[in-house]
Amino acid sequence: MTSTKNRTLSRGDTGALLAFCIAGVMIAAYITVYSIVRIIELARGVNVPVLVEFISSKTPVDLPLTSGDTVAVGLDSATITAPQLPAIASVPGIIGQVLQIVTIVVVIGCLILLARSTLSGRVFSRRNTTLVATAGITGLFGFSAVRFFDNMLANATVAHVTDNGLDNAVMSIEPFTFILAAFVVALIATVFSIGDRLQRDTEGLV
């Protein structure tokens, strides 16, 4: 005989999951609005602030001191305002913001559906495993792609503003961070997959 009875959560757990869902919706809404505003700004292309990363060893600057002297430091990042942003810079920036919206909506949507399933008393299932894997893979590749296009925006902006007079070709995604995130996603998906199988085996014995 197989039992499909779901477990009942405590009020504290239910409240925490509901709060998580509300917070997720608020985060998704905030980032979506921010990205839309940024897209409009990039499309307009006038006086656009762009965060730029530099190779500190190749970008020394003199930092003024209160004594009137200066000390040489390496510049890691700065915000450059482009009076006129060319299409070669604005298009990658817009693509990055669109990908950011899609990534956030998909990730938070999957997690909210997972929380909804948990509220019904079902934690491990094939559907939940799929939701976890989808959220993880989308977040992993989505945010990497966002960073890639943001780097394209920054590098094209510097090239335009300085007339190719500054070498700041920073086009990188930290490999260790990417590998670690991929490992965590794979681990969580594996845990849910094993949990689903163990739960089905246990229910089959009841």
Q: Say if 195 falls within a structural domain.
A: yes
Q: Say if 177 falls within a structural domain.
A: yes
Q: Say if 1 falls within a structural domain.
A: no
Do 156 and 92 form a contact (C-beta atoms < 8 A)? yes
Q: Give the range of the structural domain holding residue 25, as residue numbers without chain letter.
A: 11-48+86-205
Q: Say if 73 falls within a structural domain.
A: no
Q: How confident is the model at residue 199 (pLDDT cuts 50, 70, 90)?
A: low
Residue 69 confidence (pLDDT):
76
Q: Say if 66 falls within a structural domain.
A: no
Among 44-48, 95-99, 113-117, 140-144, the range scoring the smallest mean pLDDT is 113-117
Q: Say if 67 falls within a structural domain.
A: no
Residue 58 confidence (pLDDT):
64
* Position 5 pLDDT exceeds 70: no
**Per-residue pLDDT tens over the stretch 58-68:** 667 777 777 77
Q: Say if 122 falls within a structural domain.
A: yes
Residue 52 confidence (pLDDT):
84
- How many folded domains does the chain comprise? 1
Residues 148, 160: Cα–Cα separation, whole Å: 18
* Position 1 pLDDT exceeds 50: no
Query: Which ranges constitute the DSSP H helices of the chain?
Result: 11-44, 87-119, 126-162, 175-205
Residue 57 confidence (pLDDT):
59
Q: How confident is the model at residue 7 (pLDDT cuts 50, 70, 90)?
A: low
Q: What is the DSSP secondary structure assignment for residue 166, as one 8-state letter?
A: S
Residue 91 confidence (pLDDT):
94
Mean pLDDT of the chain: 80
**Per-residue pLDDT tens over the stretch 82-114:** 888 888 989 999 999 999 999 999 999 988 888
Q: Say if 94 falls within a structural domain.
A: yes
**Per-residue H/E/C for 131-155:** HHHHHHHHHHHHHHHHHHHHHHHHH
